[in-house]
Amino acid sequence: MKRRAIFSAAAGVLLAGLTVLFAPTSPANAHGNITGPASRNYGCYERWGSKFQDPAMATEDPMCWQAWQANPNAMWNWNGLFREQVAGNHQGAIPDGQLCSGGRTENGRYNAMDTVGDWKATNVGNSFNVKLFDGARHGADYIWVYVTKPGFNPVTQALKWSDLTRVSEIGNTPAAQWTQRADGVEIDVPVSLSGRSGRAVVYTIWQASHADQSYYFCSDVNFGGTTTTPPTTPPTTPPTTPPTTPPTTPPTTPPTSTPPATGACSASYALSSQWSGGYQAEVKVTAGSAAIKGWRVTLSYGSSQTVQQSWNSTVTASGSSLVATNATYNGALAASGSTSFGFIGSGTASTPTVTCTATT
C-alpha cells in the first residue's frame, strides 16, 4: 500500500508542494545492498537518512540532494534495487545510461542513481573488498564485480556496459557460508588491480538465490586514497514510513549521553530539527564492553510528551517520559557496537535526561 505525503518547506529546504510516494518495504523484496564502498543510494541513506531535510545537503552533497528530491524512497528502500526474470541477460535488460538504476526498475524509483555528476566517492587502494549485505539471508547464485576502464569519468559521463571490465566474481554461495550478523549476513568480494588512480565506478551484480532476482549497484570510488574499512556493524533496516514534517531550523542542541557500564549500554540524544509545533530527534545507542541482546532507552522531560511517529524502534509516551525499545533487527549489538533510532515529537523541543538499560 502506498502512502502519499506532501513536503512543504521553507525556501531552500524542499520544493513547495513536492509530492512523493512512500512504499513500505515488504519482506519479499527487502534484501540488501553494497555497504562498502557504499552504493549511491545506500551512501545517501547512511549520510542523510536522519537529516534528509537539512538544507546543508544541497551544497555539501548535491548528488544526494537531487536524489532525495527526486524520490526519497530510493534511499528508504535502499535494499530493494532489483529486477526479476532477467535470466542472466543483464545487458539485454538494462540499456546503457541506466545501469545504476537497474534499467529504471521499480517504476523508476531509482532513476536518480543514473544522474551524471560528482557523487561522493570512497577512497580505496588498488586492493579492496566489496562488502555486500543481505538482510534476507538468501545468499547468491553469483556476484560479479566490475570496475570502469581507465579514462572513464563518472562526473561527466553516463555509464555504459562498454565502460566496464569484470574484475572479480564469486559463484554459488549459500547464506550459511556468509558472515552472520544479527539482522542478516554479509560477504566480502576481494578486488585486486594495479596502476589505477583517480575516479571510477565499481558496478556490482548480485544474483540472489531467490526466484530470479538480480540486484545492481553503483559505488563511486577514488583510487589512490587509503584502503577503506567497511563498517563493523550491519546496516539497520530503514523505516517503512519516513518522517514527513519539514523542519525550519538546523540542529541546535548538543548530544547528551550516559556512560556505559560492562554489559550495559549508553545513549546520546541529538535534536535534528524543529519547527512550530514539533521537532525531530535522533538517539544513538551504544553497547558497553560486552555484547547485549536488547536495549531500552528512557528520555525524561520536564513535562508531558507526545510522539507522532518513530523509526528503528518502538517509542511510547509515559507521562513526562518517552520510552524506546529496540526493533527486532537492531537489538543485538556487539561490544562497543551502536545503532540509532529517531522520532518526531509534538510541542517545543527540550533536552531530556537520557538513560539506557540493556538485556545481556
* Whether the predicted pLDDT of 8 surpasses 70: no
Residue range 287-297: mean pLDDT, rounded? 91
**Secondary structure (3-state) at 192:** strand
On the question of pLDDT at 246 being above 50, the answer is no
Measure the CA angle with vertex 159, ends 64 and 156; round to 5°.
65
Q: Provide the mean pLDDT of the chain.
A: 82
What pLDDT, on the 0 to 100 scale, is given for residue 245? 42
Q: Buried b vs exposed e over 233-258: b needs ≥16 C-beta within 10 Å?
A: bbbbbbbeebbbbbbeeebeeeeebe
- pLDDT in the model for residue 14: 37
* pLDDT tens digits along 75-114: 999 999 999 999 999 999 999 999 999 999 999 999 999 9
Binned at pLDDT 50, 70 and 90, residue 342 comes out as confident
For 352, the grid coordinates are 531530556
Q: What is the DSSP string of 65-88?
A: HHHHHH-THHHHTTT--EEES-TT
Q: Identify the CA nearest to 346 among candidates 238, 243, 242, 257.
A: 243
When pLDDT is averaged across residues 141-161 and rounded to a whole number, the result is 96
Q: Tell me, what DSSP letter sits at residue 176? A: G
pLDDT of 241 strictly over 50: no
Q: At what angle do helices 62-70 and 40-48 cross, to 10 degrees?
A: 100
Q: What does pTM read for this prediction?
A: 0.60
Task: Please give the pLDDT value at position 263.
Answer: 57
Q: Does residue 147 have a pLDDT over 80?
A: yes
**According to the model, what pLDDT value does residue 142 have?**
96
Q: Which of 333, 58, 48, 350 is nearest to 183 (CA)?
A: 333
Q: CA-CA distance, 42 to 20, in Å (whole number)?
A: 19
| Strand 179-181 relative to strand 184-192, pairing | antiparallel
Question: Who has greater pLDDT, 208 or 340?
Answer: 208
Q: Which residues pair with 340 in a beta bridge?
A: 284
Across 25-29, 245-249, 257-261, 326-330, least confident range: 25-29
Please name the helix (run of DSSP H) or strand (run of DSSP E) that holds residue 168, with its range, or none: strand 164-170
Question: If you average pLDDT over residues 275-280, what whole number do you get?
Answer: 76
Mean pLDDT of 331-337: 87
- How far apart, in whole angstroms, are the C-alpha atoms of residue 127 and residue 114? 26
Question: What is the average per-residue pLDDT within 119-124?
Answer: 96
Rounded to an integer, the average pLDDT of 188-217 is: 94
Q: How far does CA 7 lie from the centroid of its chain? A: 21
> What burial class does residue 359 get, using C-beta atoms within 10 Å of its C-beta: 0-12 exposed, 13-18 middle, 19+ buried?
middle
Integer Cα distance of 2 and 271 in angstroms: 29
CB within 8 Å of 268: residues ≥ 6 apart: 255, 256, 257, 283, 284, 286, 354
Rg (CA), the chain: 21
d(CA 185, CA 59): 35
**Rounded Cα–Cα distance for residues 340 and 282 (Å):** 7
Residue range 162-190, pLDDT digits in tens: 999 999 999 999 999 999 988 899 999 99
- Which whole-number Å values give the CA distances from 357 to 35, 139, 249, 255, in the listed order? 29, 34, 32, 18
| CA–CA dist 157, 139 (Å, integer) | 33
Of the candidates 59, 114, 77, 68, the residue with the CA atom closest to the CA atom of residue 239 = 77
Rounded distance between C-alpha atoms, residue 55 and residue 273, angstroms: 11
The domains located in the chain, with CATH, are 3-223 (2.70.50.50), 256-359 (2.60.40.290)
Instruction: Summarize pLDDT for 297-332 with one digit per residue, the tens.
Output: 999 998 888 887 777 788 988 888 999 999 887 888
More confident residue, 277 or 283: 283
| pLDDT score, position 348 | 82
More confident site: 225 or 206: 206
The β-bridge partners of 48 are: none
pLDDT bracket for residue 26 (50, 70, 90):
very low
